[in-house]
Amino acid sequence: MVGSFGFGVIVTLPICIVIPPKAEFSTTLETGIIIGKKEELPMEPRMELINSVLAAMTALLTAEQLDKLQEVLCIKLHDYEVHPRSTEVMITDNSAEGMLNRFIATKRLEGTAETTIRLYYPYIIGLIRALGKPLYKVDTYDIRYYLSLYKQQRQVANRTLENMRKCFSSFFGWLSDEGLIGRNPCKAIKAIKYEKTVKKPFSPEERERLKNACTNLRDLALIEFLYASGCRVSEVVRLNRSDIKFHSRDVVVLGKGGKERRIYLTEVATMHLANYLAQRRDDSPALFVSRHAPHGRMGKTGIEAVLRKLGEKTGIEKVHPHRYRRTLATNLVDRGAPIQDVQQILGHADIRTTQIYLYNNPQNIRYSYEKYSA
């Protein structure tokens, strides 16, 4: 209903009448809101949220369905406080958790891998809450005690403890560098030793079996690309068709820390990739997509699932994307490539990381011994 007064116009709008929690019903009434010379009151956040949902669904629902949706939202949101999420950067929060958030924001800005960042928060917040003291008062004994207690109570492996120690050292090192604490209390804690299992690359015979197990062009192109490029799976999922330079058989990828590097492809990988792209009929720019409509970009879990199924089909254990990366590194060094070149191909900032990737084949060791010992 629309009416007029001397100082404005009354427009009738539906609003929700919030019933106390004990009541089991809600209703909708009409009321008049004067629009004109008088200033409008700010909308309550809960109603603002409801209205935004209704606006988004207007094109998809009938008027009757919208009324029902509004009624349900009013009832369900009644017992909740709704506040808009703040997007302001907090730089004055010097609480322990506030400094942790600033540390994580700094690491993200520096380009630290998200997989690493996801380790920081649960480990460090656990330490902060367990100790219950200001960070500048945390000493070496506190951290040693916490790690010992954590191992005793959780029965975790030493490798997990070493990951925790690295997280703590990075955090307290940052606090020290920022002048928020004195010395880094983790500096006196030595690396925790753990048993390192030998991670073998694929043998030539295993690679051939995996290729033969592929039943479509996409999977064949995928595993050949993983081996030839030595890319991390996180780098592969970001690639588009237009990134591949078929004439020069190379591609520029965005690696850890936002660093670009050029990687190269074998003739075999290039051929399988061209065959796969030639038979695609979708419009997606992604290099690898789902085989079923709407042919979305393949993610990390999708690629891992493809390789896991190939492993199950062939009876080969531990078939995952990173093993192809390790296989390329080992094969390059075995065939005489300088380890510095392999470091560049894999995109490692530290050559010691490249050395960890390499598998020392006992046959190669024996050959070297017999060649140089005489």
How many residues are there in the chain? 374
Residues 28 and 18: beta-carbon distance below 8 Å? no
Helix axes 140-154, 158-177, angle to 10 degrees: 150
Q: Residue 360, CB half-sphere, CA atoms under 13 Å: how many? A: 9
CA distance 360 to 353: 15
Please write down the HEC assignment for all residues of 139-187: CHHHHHHHHHHHHHHHCCCHHHHHHHHHHHHHHHHHHHHCCCCCCCCCC
**What residues contact 147, with CB distance under 8 A and at least 6 apart?**
161, 164, 165, 189, 192
**SS3 of residue 284 by DSSP:** coil
Q: Residue 325, CB half-sphere, CA atoms under 13 Å: how many? A: 21
CA distance 144 to 343: 35
**What residues contact 21, with CB distance under 8 A and at least 6 apart?**
78, 79
- Rounded to 5°, angle at Cα 310 from 304 and 314: 145
The CA distances from residue 153 to 141, 156, 160, 161, 163, in Å, are 18, 8, 13, 12, 17
Nearest to 303 by CA among 293, 285, 287, 288: 288
Please write down the HEC assignment for all residues of 263-274: EECCHHHHHHHH
Active site residues: 232, 256, 322, 325, 348, 357
CA distance 74 to 18: 7
